[in-house]
Amino acid sequence: MKGGGRGKEPPVEVSYKRPKRKCLQWHPLLSKKALDFSEEEEEDEEELEKEPLMVRETRGPKVPCGGPMEGEEDSSEQRARRPMNAFLLFCKRHRSLVRQEHPRLDNRGATKILADWWAVLEPKEKQKYTDMAKEYKDAFMKANPGYKWCPATNKPVKSPCHTVSNTRNKVWSFPSNSPKGCATAKKLPKTDSTPQLNFAMADPTKMGGLSMLLLAGEHALTAREISSSSSQSGATDVTKYPDKSSLFQLAEISSSTRQPSLNDTAGKGKPLSQGDQAETWSGTSQQGKPDVPTANVKSPLFKLAEQISSDSSQSTAPEGKQCGQSALFQLAEMCLASEAGKMETEDDTCAPHIKTETVVEEAGDTPDLPLSFPPSSSSMPTDASLLLLSGQAGLIKKKKDASTREPAKVVDKDKSPGPGSPKKTLNKRQSSESELESLFYTIEAVAKGAWGDAEEDMPKKKARTAAVTILVESSSPKKRAKPKAKRPLKAKEDERKVKDKEDDGRTELPLTVETVVNPASPKTEAKEANISSSTEPTSPSSPPAHQAQSRGEGTGGQRRWVGSRKSERSCKGALYKTLVSEGMLTSLRANVDRGKRGSFRSASDEGGWTDETWAFSQMGPSNFKKLKKSKSKDETAPGLGKLEEEFEKKFNSLPQYSPLTFDKKSTVVTKKKTDISTAPEEQPLKPAKGPSPSQKNTLFHKIVSKYKDKKEKPNTLDKDIAMRSDSPMLDSATKAKPSPAPCATATLNPEAMGTSPSVPVGSQKRKARKSKITHLVRSADGRVSPAEEDKARDLTPEQDDKPLSQDTLCNETGCYSASKQEEADRSSAPEDLPAFFSLAALAEVAAMENIHRGQHVIGDSQKKDMAKTPVLISCADQ
């Protein structure tokens, strides 16, 4: 019968019912290709190395598809997955906890419990989730303008390609958009300058160059660019304007990025539309700044953008191209549009120089490289590897585009990196390096102190240093060796980060990333240091050391540049500065690394919201069982780009309540139930219904109305016990900081609960769905699990159990007091808020900082790429 429910769908469809895969999950932040990293991470690293670019097939299965990517894209339509609602977010965040408590409990059971928790949750707490969900949704919508929740009729269903074993894996990748029906989304034809371009995977490498610009531009644009460059990698900046939520911004970015990312994921080429989309999106997203006529303006910025784009494309590789260009252009446009005046002025002077310089530098730089390839871009890559080819091809194309727009010089540069080089990565890097180098060198100069004066004396010196270091690393691949060595140490931490690294395959970046982090905020550094030390030996990452090392080597390289010209620096610096001033906050803050894990609040440091974030740091090593699973999710994406990070951060920021808390609540509730009358506002209970939800509980209205019997937790006692033991750990682990009282981590206060929610909380099944019956049956068969009890409960309502059990719990646990306190804290406390707003706050803070200091840090997840990118930009000159 149940089938009946679904029955509606044709058999075939049925299967696809769950075709989630079709839909790529949308991530606000990300678009992520990151997946690749995430998944592969350590393991894959090797692979990555091998084929940094294309690779991505990720799962074998898909690969076969022959272009899986295409397939995915083809499905071009693959719909993005609908955004999670508050409850889902909540579930996602707490499911692991539940599972820990009740290992044997299956997800269904867990879900029930979660539902209970959710019901119990105070509006306040819920609010966070709802807000986040809303934000998420908004971002999503923005990204996918015409998106329809229900795909409606069409379903692409397609073939086997999708087979993807892991739907989820891909998840992050973005679908383009709107479902077919709507089409709105995509409208734009975009320039398809090079549709094929898309091949490119996402190379980390590319990220580097672009990242710089992007970073700068991010703010201005919506950051879409970033996505292109770093989406995965890293620019973590999510912060953009305060106005828009970070997610929203991300969404924009992602929109642009997503395809590329997809490509990566897919591994091969997607065709493209990426570019188109990107542009399109950009158009949409930009909103405010419509399209500025690029052509018209052609201000220096544009040129710069072009260059960068070209470079980036080269460096980055294939995928980036399109995105990069579009992004860059957009950025340029944005800049022009928004601040046209300023930017131009400054830029004007600089731009030209920059270009020239860049070129020159490149020539100079090349030395490191195995060789610069012949300029003849046309000369196709020899095909060192298909991957490369694809990537190159893309590059080339881009180049062309670039060339058209821009002077040949750029092109040459691009070309230089030729395919021939044995390692794609290297090549890319090199190419990217050239540009990057110039930038870096500027940065370095700053760091060194050349600009120091100009810059504020901030403590950032460290940061600078770090930046320098990074630069250095990027500049010389060889140096990497050291970093690599370190890597091992980091290992654990790296794991998460690894993802980022993965791409590069070269270890270089890892350090970089860390370093970057440091730069982000001195404080952060300190924290990290502590953390690292405490957590792991990784500490070696300690900035100073790295810096020193890197510098040593780096300096040599830099010098050249330095010698080449300061003017560039100044120009660039000015440019950056301008960008920064505009609003770019891109303080990446190194979050990237921490990403999920630590999320030590990186730069922003808001008060502890970080803490709230998971305690991944701890988790990592220990691996709770959940981890593995969670990994898929969280980690999945992990380290990718800043986007991801942000998303994660945000997600993490969501408060995670300890089971105890809920239990208590439930208890309270129960009590209430018994008392029923107590609740002032609502009278909830049963009879009620709730049409009148209390003002507070809008959310609850449903519950109230539906209210059935509270569902108790089946094995309360057991749970409790489990909880007790686990919870503390979890809490401590999770929350790292806050848990004065083990139990208490985040408790809701009973009082609050009492007031509004009271009651019924229990999840009632909405209606008895089809499944209900089945469910019951099944469960019976299955085993005695809470589920059964629940079922039983359903069948025969028993209320008594709960209270008793709860009481017991309470006694045992005895956590109450603490919980309350915490609760109080939370309510008033900054922590929560910060956590909640983390993104916004970060953005603001970052902005403040940036403006103030004028630094940008870019942390990319991808080491290599990032490394090049580097991360820090200080614009202080002037």
* Residue 81 per-residue DSSP state: P
Determine the Cα angle at 51 with ends 46 and 56, to 5°: 90
Residue 242 CB-density burial (10 A; 0-12 exposed, 13-18 middle, 19+ buried): middle
For residue 597, the minimal CB distance to DNA (Å) is 16
The three-state secondary structure class of 711 is coil
Contact call for residue 98 and DNA (CB under 7 A): no
For residue 550, the minimal CB distance to DNA (Å) is 37
Query: Closest Cα to residue 548, out of 465, 459, 451?
Result: 465
- What residue has token string 């590319």? 206
- Neighbour-count burial for 186-224, b at 16+ CB within 10 Å, e otherwise: bbbebbbbbbbbbbbbbbbbbbbbbbbbbbbbbbbbbbb
Query: Closest Cα to residue 321, out of 442, 200, 192?
Result: 200
Q: In degrees rounded to 5, what are phi and psi of residue 872?
A: -110, 140
Contact call for residue 166 and DNA (CB under 7 A): no
Query: Closest Cα to residue 206, out of 391, 44, 470?
Result: 391
- CA dist 54 and 125 (Å) reads 43
Enclosing H/E stretch for 637: none
- Neighbour-count burial for 732-751, b at 16+ CB within 10 Å, e otherwise: bbbbbbbbebbbbbbbbbbe
For residue 610, the minimal CB distance to DNA (Å) is 20
In one-letter notation, the amino acid at residue 736 is: A
- CA dist 8 and 81 (Å) reads 21
For residue 100, the minimal CB distance to DNA (Å) is 11
- CA dist 595 and 638 (Å) reads 7
Contact call for residue 87 and DNA (CB under 7 A): yes
Contact call for residue 792 and DNA (CB under 7 A): no
For residue 792, the minimal CB distance to DNA (Å) is 13
Give the nearer residue to DNA in terms of CB position, either 112 or 594. Answer: 112
Contact call for residue 161 and DNA (CB under 7 A): no
Q: In degrees rounded to 5, what are phi and psi of residue 224?
A: -55, -35
Of 185-193, 211-219, 428-436, 627-635, the window that binds DNA (rule: CB under 7 A) is 627-635
- CA dist 714 and 223 (Å) reads 48
Residue 131 CB-density burial (10 A; 0-12 exposed, 13-18 middle, 19+ buried): middle
For residue 632, the minimal CB distance to DNA (Å) is 5
For residue 667, the minimal CB distance to DNA (Å) is 18
Contact call for residue 6 and DNA (CB under 7 A): yes
Contact call for residue 643 and DNA (CB under 7 A): no
The answer for residues whose C-beta is within 8 angstroms of residue 167's C-beta and 6 or more apart is 20, 21
For residue 763, the minimal CB distance to DNA (Å) is 3
Give the nearer residue to DNA in terms of CB position, either 628 or 852. Answer: 628
Give the nearer residue to DNA in terms of CB position, either 173 or 309. Answer: 173
- Among positions 54, 55, 119, 139, the unique one binding DNA when judged by CB under 7 A: 119
Contact call for residue 170 and DNA (CB under 7 A): no
Contact 674, 535 (CB under 8 A): no
Contact call for residue 85 and DNA (CB under 7 A): yes
- Among positions 255, 312, 602, 764, the unique one binding DNA when judged by CB under 7 A: 764
- Among positions 59, 168, 569, 853, the unique one binding DNA when judged by CB under 7 A: 168
For residue 766, the minimal CB distance to DNA (Å) is 5
Contact call for residue 782 and DNA (CB under 7 A): yes
Strands 855-857 and 872-874: antiparallel
For residue 85, the minimal CB distance to DNA (Å) is 4
- CA dist 455 and 458 (Å) reads 8
- Among positions 213, 331, 387, 703, the unique one binding DNA when judged by CB under 7 A: 703
Q: Return the structure tokens found at 787.
A: 């589920």
Enclosing H/E stretch for 873: strand 872-874
- CA dist 513 and 528 (Å) reads 12
Give the nearer residue to DNA in terms of CB position, either 150 or 295. Answer: 150
- Among positions 38, 130, 205, 259, the unique one binding DNA when judged by CB under 7 A: 130
Contact call for residue 95 and DNA (CB under 7 A): yes
For residue 5, the minimal CB distance to DNA (Å) is 6
Contact call for residue 770 and DNA (CB under 7 A): yes
Query: Closest Cα to residue 211, out of 240, 238, 231, 197?
Result: 231
Distance between first and last Cα of the chain: 74
Could you tell me the sign of the dihedral formed by the alpha carbons of 567, 572, 574, 575, in that order?
Answer: positive
Contact call for residue 91 and DNA (CB under 7 A): yes
- Among positions 298, 400, 560, 626, the unique one binding DNA when judged by CB under 7 A: 626
Residue 77 pairs in a beta bridge with 75
Contact call for residue 9 and DNA (CB under 7 A): yes
In one-letter notation, the amino acid at residue 212 is: M
- Among positions 50, 108, 523, 560, the unique one binding DNA when judged by CB under 7 A: 108
Of 6-14, 320-328, 330-338, 497-505, the window that binds DNA (rule: CB under 7 A) is 6-14
For residue 781, the minimal CB distance to DNA (Å) is 8
Q: Return the structure tokens found at 80.
A: 């993005």
Give the nearer residue to DNA in terms of CB position, either 130 or 758. Answer: 130
Residue 1 CB-density burial (10 A; 0-12 exposed, 13-18 middle, 19+ buried): exposed
Contact call for residue 56 and DNA (CB under 7 A): no
Over the window 670 to 699, marking each residue x when it contacts DNA by CB under 7 A and - when it does not, the resulting string is -----------------------------x
Total number of residues that touch DNA (CB under 7 A) = 72
Give the nearer residue to DNA in terms of CB position, either 148 or 737. Answer: 148
Contact call for residue 15 and DNA (CB under 7 A): yes
Contact call for residue 600 and DNA (CB under 7 A): no
- CA dist 225 and 430 (Å) reads 21
- Among positions 14, 384, 721, 810, the unique one binding DNA when judged by CB under 7 A: 14
Give the nearer residue to DNA in terms of CB position, either 380 or 768. Answer: 768
Give the nearer residue to DNA in terms of CB position, either 18 or 478. Answer: 18
Of 1-9, 291-299, 457-465, 827-835, the window that binds DNA (rule: CB under 7 A) is 1-9
For residue 786, the minimal CB distance to DNA (Å) is 11
Contact call for residue 759 and DNA (CB under 7 A): no
For residue 731, the minimal CB distance to DNA (Å) is 19
For residue 649, the minimal CB distance to DNA (Å) is 15
Q: Return the structure tokens found at 347.
A: 């830029």
- Among positions 772, 810, 825, 829, the unique one binding DNA when judged by CB under 7 A: 772
- Among positions 118, 248, 373, 609, the unique one binding DNA when judged by CB under 7 A: 118
- CA dist 696 and 123 (Å) reads 7
- CA dist 466 and 486 (Å) reads 16
Contact call for residue 342 and DNA (CB under 7 A): no
Contact call for residue 79 and DNA (CB under 7 A): yes
Give the nearer residue to DNA in terms of CB position, either 52 or 762. Answer: 762
Give the nearer residue to DNA in terms of CB position, either 320 or 760. Answer: 760
Contact call for residue 20 and DNA (CB under 7 A): yes
For residue 843, the minimal CB distance to DNA (Å) is 24
Contact 569, 445 (CB under 8 A): yes
- Among positions 43, 64, 66, 107, the unique one binding DNA when judged by CB under 7 A: 107
Give the nearer residue to DNA in terms of CB position, either 94 or 527. Answer: 94
- What residue has token string 């995105």? 323
For residue 26, the minimal CB distance to DNA (Å) is 8
Site for DNA in 141-160 (CB under 7 A): 148-152
For residue 652, the minimal CB distance to DNA (Å) is 12
